[in-house]
Amino acid sequence: MSQPNVAISATHVSFKYPGNDYYSLNDISVTIKAGSCTGIIGPNGAGKSTFISLLCGLLIPEKGQIIYHDCAELSIEQAVKNQVALIPQEYAFYPQLTIKQNLDYFVALSERDKYKRPQIISQTLAQCALSDVAHRKAQSLSGGYKRRLNIAIALSKQPTIIFLDEPTVGIDPISRQHIIDLLLSLKKAGKTLIYTSHMLNEVEQICDEVVLLNHGQAIATSSNDNQQMFLSVEFMPSSQAITQLLPSADIVSQQEGSLEIKIKDNADLKQQLLALSQAGPLIKNLHFSQNSIDHLYFNSYRGQ
C-alpha cells in the first residue's frame, strides 16, 4: 500500500541465490523516506550489493515485498525505469565520446522529448559544473570530472531516486567536496538518494539514515531523528574498579583501560561526569561524541 513521504519500502525481504542453501539476505525491512539520503553500509560480503540489486529490481525477492510508493501500481522494473538512476562505482560511460556526446546519447535513451533534450543537457552540465569541458573527450578528463560525468548522466535522466555506489572513490579532497556538495543540493531539491560507501565520514555527512548490514541481515539502523551521544573514558589499566563509580551508566563497550557509555541526555551526561570526577587522576582522557556512524559500525561488529 502506498505511504506518503516514503519512496521505497522493503518489508521482510529475503533472497537466496540459485544453488545456495543459505539466504544471502534474510528478513530485511527498511523504509526509505522520500527526499532523504539513506546509507547502506557494511563490510564486504555483508549483502549490500544483493540488497541494492533487489531494491532496483535487478533481482526478485524470494520472500517479502519491495514497493516504490510513487508507482505502487507498477512492477518494480517499470517503477525503476520511471524513477531511478544508477551511479555505479565504475565510470559507466563511453570514454571515447565527449561529455556532450555521452549526455546526448543517454538523454536520447531516456526517450525525453526531442525538443527538450538540449535544455536538459545544458541544465545538467551546469548543475555538475561541466559546461566548460563539455566538448572534451571523457577519457582525457581527470578523475574528479569523470566522477561528475558519471553523476551527470544519471541526473540527465531526471530521476526522483538515485542509487550511488562510492561516488567519490579515488579523487582528490576538493573534487570530493564538490561531489558531496552536489549530492547535498540534490537532497535539498527533493531527490531520494540511496548511498553505499565504505567512507563512513562521508556517509555521516550526507546520509539522514543508515542501514548497517552484516551476514545478510540489517544489524543496526541509525537516523538523525534519534541522535545518540557517547562518552569514551580512558583510564589507568589498574583502575578496573572505576565501573563501580558508574552504577547508572549504560556501558556499551568495555576493554582494558577504556569504556564507552551511551548518554541518554544532558542530565545523564552531567551525572556520569560527576561520578567520573571522583576518580580524579586515574582518568587519562574523556571524549564526547554524537551519533557517530563509526560508533554504530564498529560497535555493531564488536557485538557480532
Partner 1 sequence: MLLQSVKKEAILICNDLHSVGVLLLLPISFMLIMTFAMSEQYSNLASKMTIKLVGQSHSAHGAALSRYVSGHGFKVVTERAITEIDATIEIKDGFDRALLLRSGGGHIELTLADKLSPQAQTLIKESIKVSLSKLKLHAYMDDLGDFEASMSLDEKVSLVNASADVDYLIVHHETKAVLKAPTLYSVPSWMVFGIYFIVLPISITLINEKQNGTLIRIKTYPISTSRYFSNKALSYGVLSLLQWLTLSVVGLMLVPLITGQPMLGIDNIPLYICAGLMVVFSAIGFAFLIASMVSTYDQAIVLGGGINILMAALSGFMVPVDIMPQQLADLASFSPMYWSGDVIRQAIAGATMIDGAKNLLALGLFGLISFAIALVIFNVKSRKLLWN
Chain residues binding partner 1 by CB under 8 A are 49-50, 52-53, 56, 58-59, 80-82, 84-86, 88-94, 96-97, 101, 104-106, 108-111, 153-154, 157, 163, 165
> Based on CB atoms, which residue is closest to partner 1, 56 or 183?
56
> Based on CB atoms, which residue is closest to partner 1, 117 or 264?
117
CB of 111 to partner 1, least distance (A): 5
Buried b (16+ CB within 10 A) or exposed e, 98-134: bbbbbbbebbeebebeeeebeebbeebbebbebeebb
> Based on CB atoms, which residue is closest to partner 1, 153 or 207?
153
CB of 51 to partner 1, least distance (A): 9
**Cell numbers given for 141:** 578528463
> Based on CB atoms, which residue is closest to partner 1, 59 or 261?
59
Q: Which are the contacts of 253, defined by CB distance < 8 A and separation ≥ 6?
A: 259, 260, 299, 302
CB of 56 to partner 1, least distance (A): 7
SS3 assignment, position 74: coil
CB of 250 to partner 1, least distance (A): 37
> Based on CB atoms, which residue is closest to partner 1, 84 or 200?
84
> Based on CB atoms, which residue is closest to partner 1, 50 or 222?
50
CB of 135 to partner 1, least distance (A): 13
Residue whose C-alpha is closest to residue 70's, from 209, 221, 191:
191
**Cell numbers given for 286:** 574523556
Among all chains, which residue has been given the C-alpha cell 508507482? 71
What is the CB-side half-sphere exposure of residue 269 using CA atoms within 13 A? 13
CB of 5 to partner 1, least distance (A): 23
CA 120, CA 207: separation in Å to the nearest integer? 27
